[in-house]
């Protein structure tokens, strides 16, 4: 809206009376949102599409799995509706970029998540592996059947060695109060 008193002119515009549609577009076309789009025209760098809320979006050639514009124009015709995913929304420059490749990635990701959700109930909780202490506490099958527990051989032999060392050790001083023969020199 503009007022020019010198020229006695008043400028009005219809767009100034309506809300900025890009505010609504920003909510509707968030990144990774899947939306239907109608092919409007083919350009050297990609495809211009019409989006549901009345705005246009652009799909660069690199964002199609086909790769070249010739192959894209063969697989999609003007006026045809295709599914795309938003990859960029620029409110300031009023630009929406879309991608067919990203759509395919999102679909694969959803399939994997669905498979995982389908399989998880059958997996159940994984039983924790036993600790070393739990393994040591378990009896062998032979010991359980006889009811006897054998003492490990190493313990028995080490106790015998300890007893024999105490009896014959010349370096061990005698206990106090024990009688010892005086040595004659």
For 152, phi then psi, to 5°, come to -60, 140
Is residue 97 a part of any domain in this protein?
A: yes
Instruction: Report which of residues 41 and 164 the model is more confident about.
Output: 41
Binning pLDDT at 50, 70 and 90, where does residue 185 land? Answer: very low
Nearest to 42 by CA among 71, 1, 85, 11: 71
Spell out the residues 6+ positions from residue 66 whose beta carbon is closer than 8 angstroms to its own: 72, 74, 75
The Cβ of residue 42 has, within 10 Å, a number of other Cβ atoms equal to: 17
Let me know the angle formed at the C-alpha of 87 by 28 and 75, rounded to the nearest 5 degrees.
100
> Considering its fold, how many domains does the chain have in total?
1
Tokens of 100: 């067919």
In terms of residue numbers, what domain contains 65? Answer: 20-105
Residue 34's CATH number: 2.40.50.140
Residue 48 lies in a domain: yes
Q: Give the pLDDT score at 59.
A: 93
Is 119 within a domain? Answer: no
State if pTM tops 0.95: no
Q: The tokens of 116 are what?
A: 């995982």
Q: pLDDT category, 149, cuts 50, 70, 90?
A: low
Q: pLDDT tens digits for 59-71?
A: 999 999 887 778 8
SS3 call for 47: strand
């Amino acid at each position: 809206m503009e007022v020019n008193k010198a020229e006695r002119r008043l400028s009005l515009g219809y767009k100034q009376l309506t809300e900025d549609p890009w505010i609504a577009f920003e909510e509707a076309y968030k990144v990774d949102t899947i939306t239907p789009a109608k092919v409007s025209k083919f350009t050297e760098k990609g495809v211009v599409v019409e989006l549901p809320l009345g705005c246009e979006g652009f799909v660069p050639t690199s964002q199609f799995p086909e790769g070249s514009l010739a192959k894209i124009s063969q697989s999609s015709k003007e006026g045809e509706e295709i599914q795309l995913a938003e990859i960029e929304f620029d409110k300031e420059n009023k630009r929406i970029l879309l991608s067919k490749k990203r759509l395919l990635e999102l679909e694969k990701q959803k399939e994997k998540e669905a498979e995982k959700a389908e399989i998880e109930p059958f997996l159940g909780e994984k039983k924790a592996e036993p600790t070393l202490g739990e393994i040591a506490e378990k009896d062998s099958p032979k010991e359980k059947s006889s009811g006897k527990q054998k003492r490990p051989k190493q313990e028995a032999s080490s106790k015998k060695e300890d007893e024999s060392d105490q009896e014959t050790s010349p370096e061990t001083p005698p206990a106090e109060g024990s009688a010892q023969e005086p040595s004659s020199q």
